[in-house]
Amino acid sequence: MTSILKPPEKILAKWLSAETLAGELFVPKQTIYRWRHEGAGPKAHKFGSTVRFARDDVDAWIQDHAE
């Protein structure tokens, strides 16, 4: 029987998917992808074919865009 290892919760909490980020910012997921394409959103990191956003980068981006 093969067991699948899951990353520790602490590591998972550091990285957000586009869907999770969209939910937190109350915008459509497509907006996150558009911002990434335009270079307007938080810094993205690509792991293979997966795009993730670091919690620290997202928090800094939000602070930089506060009115």
What is the pairing mode between strands 15-16 and 44-47? unpaired
- The count of domains in the chain is 1
Is 1 strand, coil or helix? coil
pLDDT of residue 67: 82
**What whole-number distance in Å separates Cα of residue 4 and Cα of residue 28?**
32
For the chain of 67 residues, list the mean pLDDT of each consecutive stretch of 10. Answer: 64 85 97 97 94 96 92
Q: Confirm whether 1 is domain-assigned.
A: no
Is 32 strand, coil or helix? helix
Q: Confirm whether 45 is domain-assigned.
A: yes
pLDDT of residue 26: 97
Q: Confirm whether 4 is domain-assigned.
A: no
For the entire predicted model, the pTM comes to 0.78
Q: What does residue 11 show for φ and ψ, rounded to 5 degrees?
A: -70, -45
Q: Confirm whether 44 is domain-assigned.
A: yes
Q: Confirm whether 47 is domain-assigned.
A: yes
